[in-house]
Amino acid sequence: MMRLTRMVLDPLLAGVLSLLMLAALLAVSGYPVAESMSALWRGAFGSWSVIASGTLVRATPLLFAGLAVAVAFRAGVLNIGAEGQLLIGAAAATAAAMLVPPSLGLAGAFVVLLAGAIAGGVWASIAGVLRLRFGVLEVISTIMLNVIALNITGLLVRGPLQEPTRVFPQSALIDEALRLPRLVPGSRLHLGVALAVCSALGLAWFLRFTASGFRLRMTGANAAAAASAGGIEVPRVLLAALITSGAIAGLGGAVEVSGVTYALYENLSPGYGYTAIAVALLARLNPASAIGSALVFGALEAGASAMQRDAQVPAGMVGVVEASVILVLLASEWIGGRMRGRRSLNRGGAPRAGSVPTASATT
């Protein structure tokens, strides 16, 4: 019950805190607070059409990338490369869409998604091999791979995948038969939204109720103990977690191409892979909770566009607020953990908070 309560309250708290901080930032910067906040609300929740075609569609790639980050972080792998893995997945999906016969229909669309997931997993495996074989920290390698993926995308849309007229730096539109079907006629809400939610729930079940999920969680909690006491092959688990993480991010890129943009271009992702870190942290690395946190950030980003359009407020303000909210929540979690730890020590007879522990008390 407590877990379910936190799944609901954490995103709500983040949403309220975001609005309060944004209002304060607008006031300090001299922008009209009421007009700006009204535009933000209209852009995120103003109507069912806005919710379906804006907020939910924006939240979908954030959810996929957030799940990718959560899986890796739960295993103790700091995968900062969801952005690059998403782009590589989108590029592979676009290439597959150019080769798959449109006559396959929905089966062809599945092949397109599968190509994106495989490409994302393969791209992430590069960082895994670098860590296990050469000791390269994945934080560094995944960031560098993001830059490489961005440049590969640029080369592809100006080379092999460029549209036939060779005028625009983008690919040709994928065939209608290979696009994800709409869930609601007349809106941009596509099947990928449901796929993202099912992926989140499936990952939550996997981590909690399967032996492989248990091994992944134990490796992230204490790799040394998992190897010595649990007999877990830590390197194998780390590599599998990183590949799975990349595959999820790559699937998100494939969904974005086949459900929203229908073409590949350089700025396909406005930073989904980086915002996804905030999504995962707000969800406390819980895949099910990531649904709510992705919705919060999706609403903020959808509303930011309307706020910029209607109230001439820089959309970058929302980015500042998003980062600030995560810092506040992390700080509160750290303080809460310290307080719980001190209460636990006091109940066990250890020195009270503020006292100086003796040598015998610390041994």
User: For the chain, what is the HEC assignment?
Assistant: CHHHHHHHHHHHHHHHHHHHHHHHHHHHHCCCHHHHHHHHHHHHHCCHHHHHHHHHHHHHHHHHHHHHHHHHHHCCCCCCCHHHHHHHHHHHHHHHHHHCCHHHCHHHHHHHHHHHHHHHHHHHHHHHHHHHHHCCCHHHHHHHHHHHHHHHHHHHHCCCCECCCCCCCEECCCCHHHCCCECCCCCCCEHHHHHHHHHHHHHHHHHHHCHHHHHHHHHHHCHHHHHHCCCCCHHHHHHHHHHHHHHHHHHHHHHHHHHHHCCCECCCCCCHHHHHHHHHHHCCCCCCHHHHHHHHHHHHHHHHHHHHHHHCCCCHHHHHHHHHHHHHHHHHHHHHHHHHHHHHHHHCCCCCCCCCCCHHHHC
Question: Measured in whole angstroms, how far is the alpha carbon of residue 167 from the centre of its chain?
Answer: 33
Q: Determine the Cα–Cα distance for residues 87 and 290; give it in Å rounded to an integer.
A: 21
Structural contact between residues 76 and 225, judged by C-beta atoms closer than 8 angstroms: no
User: For the chain, what are the domain ranges?
Assistant: 61-289
**Could you tell me the pLDDT band of residue 168, with boundaries at 50, 70 and 90?**
very high
233-281, pLDDT tens digit by residue?
Answer: 999 999 999 999 999 999 999 999 999 999 999 889 988 999 999 899 8
- pLDDT in the model for residue 115: 97
Tokens (6 digits) for 59: 């939240």
pTM of the predicted protein model = 0.88
Q: Determine the Cα–Cα distance for residues 266 and 362; give it in Å rounded to an integer.
A: 56
- pLDDT in the model for residue 332: 66
**Could you tell me the pLDDT band of residue 354, with boundaries at 50, 70 and 90?**
very low
Residues 339-356 have a mean pLDDT of 56
Percent of the chain residues past pLDDT 90, beyond the cut: 60
Residues 287-298 have a mean pLDDT of 92
98-109, pLDDT tens digit by residue?
Answer: 999 999 988 999
Name the phi and psi angles at 100, rounded to 5: -75, 135
Q: Determine the Cα–Cα distance for residues 119 and 202; give it in Å rounded to an integer.
A: 21
